[in-house]
Amino acid sequence: MPIRWFYTGMVLYVVTCIQCAVHVQFWAQEFIHFTDWVVGHAHLIMFGTFGFWLIGITTDLWPRVLGRKNWWAPALHEWVFWMSTIGLASMFVALTSAGLVEGFLWKGLAPWEVSLESVRLIWLFRTATGLLMFAGVLLFAFNMYMTATSPEAEEAGAGMAVGLEEALGEKV
């Protein structure tokens, strides 16, 4: 699982580098400056690259720090990964689209209010994608907490066997 986080973060880093190469060109800069394009770019680099790498590091190290063999619920990592990846990719597309709409409207000297109304539905979609990403991070934190506070499966099974021995008065 850590490799998946690192690899996806690396791919997203390449995407941001390509986008940045376009972004710094004067013809593009005058068009997208101060639009949601920049916000989408920032989300992609900060959460998509560095956030994914941090989650990957934590995925690998957290059980080791606790002296455990595995996570409380390894399947939750699948959910966290896909919620974060789908949420971020959708948010990036939405914000890039909103930035292009805003850029075209501002280039045509449309009033500020027109640009706000034009991207309102995109912002609602962006909110939904952000909530999906946030839910993924909350699931990750929940899995961290449960890993730290719950007994391991073998420990729980051993404890149950000892309890049965005492209850039955014999070796199980």
pLDDT, position 111: 94
Helices (H), the chain: 2-23, 26-32, 36-43, 52-66, 74-107, 112-118, 120-149, 153-168
Q: Residue 86: its pLDDT value, please?
A: 97
pTM of the model: 0.82
Name, in order, each residue with C-beta under 8 angstroms of 117's C-beta and a sequence gap of 6 or more: none
- What is the dihedral sign for C-alpha 25, 35, 33, 48? negative
Question: How many Cβ atoms sit within 10 Å of the Cβ of residue 137?
Answer: 16
Please provide the average confidence, as pLDDT, over all residues in the chain: 89
The residue written with tokens 């940045």 in the block is: 20
How many Å is the Cα radius of gyration of the chain?
Answer: 23
Nearest alpha carbon to residue 129 among 103, 100, 93, 96: 93
Rounded to whole angstroms, the Cα distance separating 141 from 144 reads: 5
For residue 36, what pLDDT is reported? 95
Structure token pair of residue 55:
């989650």
Residue type, 151: P
What's the pLDDT score for residue 152? 75
- Would you state the pLDDT for residue 154? 56
* Residues of the chain falling short of pLDDT 70: 153-172
Question: Which pLDDT does position 100 carry in this prediction?
Answer: 94
